[in-house]
Structure 1
Amino acid sequence: MNSHAVELRNVGKDYKYFRLNDISLSLPTGSITGFIGVNGAGKSTTIRILLGLVHQDRGSVQVLGQTMPDQQVLAKREIGYVSEDMRLYPKANLAWHMQFIQSIYPNWDQAYAEHLLKRFDLRAEQKIKGLSHGQRVKATLLLALAHRPKLLVLDEPTTGLDPVARQEVLSALMEVLADEQRTILFSSHNTLDVEQISDQVAFIDQGTIIEATSKEDLLDLWRRLRVRIEPGQSLAELPHIVQQQGNGQLQSLITNRYSPELHQIYQQAGLEIQAVEYLTLEEIFVASIQARREGKTL
């Protein structure tokens, strides 16, 4: 069995005002990958190519062992998809939608669907037009989960949700992971959600993947160092400094290649290291984007 549920190799797509630049991304089977980027970075374009909704201009796409877009019909039997802009039929109730999805997917699990109804505090007989925004998101998540997909693709699913509804959605995703053969791609600009549930992360900026690795490795390698420097001292030659902030003798340095050996290197250069701090995923993402746009090598 393939160890990767999704493999994109040098995938590109050209539009008049946007270009997806040779995207290479692998999603290990059983993983939750957080796909992070600002609006317009290329997240949704990448997802549409992955789903066969948009045909790439170059590169190869394999999803659950199927070549996309040629074999998308076979692949989509095992894919669940939820997007912030998905629309259900407002005059129909949730039960009608459940029966409709059941007629399409042979793997529909009615017992699991009823469990999710209770878990999400939804009523099958209620019409969609009477649901709140949070309830509609949970309804689309139910429809995607109840046919037991091997790959779950979530494109900004928590946008606009209140904290309670957001937590319910995230808890459901963690439950899906109980089956280690399921894979989730979670696209969001909300790094807090991604940091909470993902084990892999990928950053995309201006159509280019700038980082793709395990979340734990990323959080371990990026650190903020609070240092004291002598007046007139230059930091230009010091290795692995992604960002420098501060005035005068007290400076804040961000490194993306932290190791204990850096202490000795920096101290030999005359720096007094006063503190070493972990960064949040959001801080790492912002620093990565800023460094890339300033032309720094990460």
Structure 2
Amino acid sequence: MTVAFSLSGVAKHYPEFSLRDINLDLPAGEVMGLVGVNGAGKTTLLRLLSGLAAADAGEVTVLGHRLPEAQVEAKRDMGFASEDMRLYRSQTLRWHMDLIRAIYPDWDSAYADHLLRRFDLRVDQRLGGYSHGQRVKAMLLLSLARRPRLLLLDEPTTGLDPVARAEVLEALSDVLRDAARSVLFSSHNTQDVEQLADTITFLHAGRMIASSDKERFLDSWRRVSCEGHAPEGLSDWPEVAMVRHSGSLIEIKTRAWDAQFPARLDEAGLKVQRVDRMALEDIFVTAVRSGGAA
């Protein structure tokens, strides 16, 4: 299997935060969503992959190149966009496009023009006059038009109004249809991740708590509503992530759904009222609060 990147035993330490023991691969041509609250370590992980920071331990390989030793080679086919990146506000978007085209020979002028129309951007306007949403779209255009083999996006939809957010997600969906491209994007908006990603990785407090394909997450988690009195030790059942009591009503969230689970509950004295699938946001919050792997 060809991988777009590989992290093996990676750690990065700062005075107030540490990213620890990260082992993660992205198969070429897949889209991975990196989910975590602010401060979970998403940006740190992306900075390690982009060569903007060096790991204190472990190995980082991007597009077959070891970082940081071969980061120049890796960056030729890598695109990176972050919400805190700064463009030159005194220059026009055309100036930025000409600069990137001069540096990267794979710049796709036709696709850049397509994105200009889709994003409704004025190419000769100085970026100081752009709104926040327009600057985000300009930054994405400059990354996407290079047609990178690996695209790293740090919170690409943060701060966008609903219309701009929909435009960005549509453009990303177009890019993701190309099987030769690999994408890692971080977000605390689980709806964006659920819409775009093939694989989802949960990060919390500097540690990876789960990573799997999206369908496995959505298929294996359930919310089960019951009546009765919970048997002793219910919270210790291996598939049970959380139990919440409200009088005679009991809500159970399970991380390893099995069709026989309701029958086991019945044998334990609980009457199942309903079984519901869980949204990705609910899965993430439950996994974090339960302190276990998802």
State the TM-score, normalizing by the size of structure 2: 0.96
CA contact (8 A) 1:228 1:271 kept: yes
- Deviation digits for residues 18-67 of structure 1 (CA, Å, limit 9, x no counterpart): 11111011111111111011111111111111111111111111111111
C-alpha distance in 1 between matches for 2:219 and 2:276: 10
Identity of aligned residues (%): 49
Q: How many equivalent pairs are there? A: 293
RMSD, aligned α-carbons: 1.3
C-alpha distance in 1 between matches for 2:97 and 2:293: 49
For 1:217-228, list aligned pairs within 5 A.
217-228=216-227
**AA partner of residue 42 (structure 1):** G
Q: Please say which of residues 235-244 and 124-133 is displaced more in the overlay.
A: 235-244
Q: Secondary structure at the match of 1:86?
A: coil
Structure 1 gaps of 5+ residues are none
Match of 2:89 in 1: 90
C-alpha distance in 2 between matches for 1:266 and 1:297: 23
Match of 2:110 in 1: 111
C-alpha distance in 1 between matches for 2:236 and 2:209: 24
C-alpha distance in 2 between matches for 1:189 and 1:15: 22
**AA partner of residue 286 (structure 1):** V
C-alpha distance in 2 between matches for 1:188 and 1:244: 28
For 1:1-298, list aligned pairs within 5 A.
3-230=2-229, 233-234=231-232, 235-292=234-291, 296=292, 298=294
Task: Give the CA deviation at 1:269.
Answer: 1.2
C-alpha distance in 1 between matches for 2:252 and 2:44: 35
CA contact (8 A) 1:55 1:69 kept: yes
C-alpha distance in 1 between matches for 2:266 and 2:182: 44
CA contact (8 A) 2:224 2:253 kept: yes
**AA partner of residue 91 (structure 2):** A
Structure 2 gaps of 5+ residues are none
**AA partner of residue 209 (structure 1):** M
CA contact (8 A) 2:235 2:243 kept: no
Q: Please say which of residues 14-23 and 277-286 is displaced more in the overlay.
A: 14-23
CA contact (8 A) 1:31 1:184 kept: yes
CA contact (8 A) 1:78 1:150 kept: yes
**AA partner of residue 128 (structure 2):** K
**AA partner of residue 33 (structure 1):** M
Task: Give the CA deviation at 1:236.
Answer: 4.1
Task: Give the CA deviation at 1:264.
Answer: 2.1
C-alpha distance in 2 between matches for 1:238 and 1:75: 46
CA contact (8 A) 1:238 1:266 kept: no
